[in-house]
Amino acid sequence: MVDLTVEIAPGLILKNPVLTASGTFGYGREYAPYFDIAKLGGIITKGLSLEPKTGNPGIRITETACGMLNAIGLENIGIEQFLSMELPLLRKLGAVVIVNIFGQEQADYAALAARLDGVEGISALEINISCPNVKAGGIQFGTDPAAAAKLVAAVRQATSLPLITKLSPNVSDIVAIAQAVVEAGSDALSLINTLMGMAIDLDRKKPILGNTTGGLSGPAIKPVALRMVYQVASAVSVPVIGIGGIVNQRDALEFLLAGATAVEIGTASFINPQSAALIVAGIENYLDRQGCKRVVDFIGSLEKNPA
């Protein structure tokens, strides 16, 4: 038996370090036929806004080498419908629920945080300041340390829930943003959101995606994500959650070595709905074979000298 528990925010202890990335796990319900979602460290919902949102028109996804571009545009059912229609089922299933929130303005974020404060069955908030696909998807907050800090401070004021801030890789210095939001009261960080990209239909001389640009995810972005997690985890004292192209336990374990306290599984869940559950089992198996009794001993144990 390996102790897989991790603490990703003060007092928030997860049964294992595997979470699901926002936008790839729906509201949890969609995965219930495939495995017991309570077996995960937690699930992170699709990004929710105060009002329902319909998302972008036109083609929304396209595959690229070892990855995919998406320009969904934060389509979601809105916070009230989530609370009345989706949360009760998640509670019944016993899942640890982290709600991803986004807004157009700072006040929207604060209002969402206030609305969710004290709601039973919600363990933490993940603040999306990094969606590249809509102008009002938080990215305007996510690329400037001062704006990011101001937003996080406002959310911090509005709720006592643990706060995880999800960072964009589409910045020149992710460490500066990370330090700014930690300073402003973020209890943890999750990174990376998708890398902004583009695909072109050569023969028709047109962009493929309806939104022209989209967010790149999948194994193609893993090296970038690992590098950023390593840099951020080395620079901040709060837990870091690694995201980016994780498709199996080996990928997940590499992020833990780099200093991530937990990981989020994203695109892999589209390919195999059981991915996150398989990764939990795979991590346990690997650590057991290594004679490692506690996952926390493995986290950040990367040796400095290159192989």
Partner 1 sequence: MAGIRCWTLFLFNAEIIDKQKLSQGIFRLRLKSGKDFCRAAKPGRFVMLGIDNSLFDPLLRRPFGLCRWHEEWFEVVIKNVGRGSAQLCQLEKGGSVAVHGPLGNGYPQQKTEEGEVSPLFLVAGGMGIASIASYIFSALDSNQSLTETFLFYGAASYAELILLNELTAAVALGLRIKTITDDGSCGRHGLVTQILAAELLNNSQARIFACGPEAMLKSVQKILQTGGNEGYLSLENRMACGFGVCLGCVQTVFAETGAGGVETAKVCTQGPVFPARKVIF
The owner of tokens 């023969």 is 203
Our finding on whether 57 is near partner 1 (CB under 8 A) is yes
Catalytic hit among 14, 98, 131, 246? 131
Least Å distance between CB 218 and partner 1? 5
Our finding on whether 35 is near partner 1 (CB under 8 A) is yes
- The 3-class secondary structure across 244-261, one letter per residue, is CCCCCHHHHHHHHHCCCC
The stretch among 34-42, 83-91, 123-131, 299-307 that binds partner 1 (CB under 8 A) is 34-42
Least Å distance between CB 52 and partner 1? 10
Please identify, using beta-carbon distances, which residue of 145 and 245 lies nearer to partner 1: 245
Our finding on whether 224 is near partner 1 (CB under 8 A) is no
> Edge-to-edge strands of the sheet including 67-70?
61-64, 67-70, 213-217, 195-198
Q: Which two tokens stand for residue 291?
A: 């004679």
C-alpha count within 13 angstroms, C-beta hemisphere, residue 177: 27
Alpha-carbon distance of 236 to 3, in angstroms, equals 25
Least Å distance between CB 25 and partner 1? 7
Our finding on whether 70 is near partner 1 (CB under 8 A) is yes
Report how many residues bind partner 1 under the rule CB under 8 A.
Answer: 41
Our finding on whether 200 is near partner 1 (CB under 8 A) is no
131 is an active site residue: yes
Which position among 8, 267, 298, 299 is part of the footprint of partner 1 (CB under 8 A)? 267
Q: What is the DSSP string of 139-150?
A: HHHHT-HHHHHH
Our finding on whether 210 is near partner 1 (CB under 8 A) is no
Give the interface with partner 1 as residue ranges (CB under 8 A). Answer: 24-26, 30-36, 39, 54-55, 57, 59-63, 65-68, 70, 72, 75, 218-219, 247, 267, 269-274, 277-278, 281, 284-285
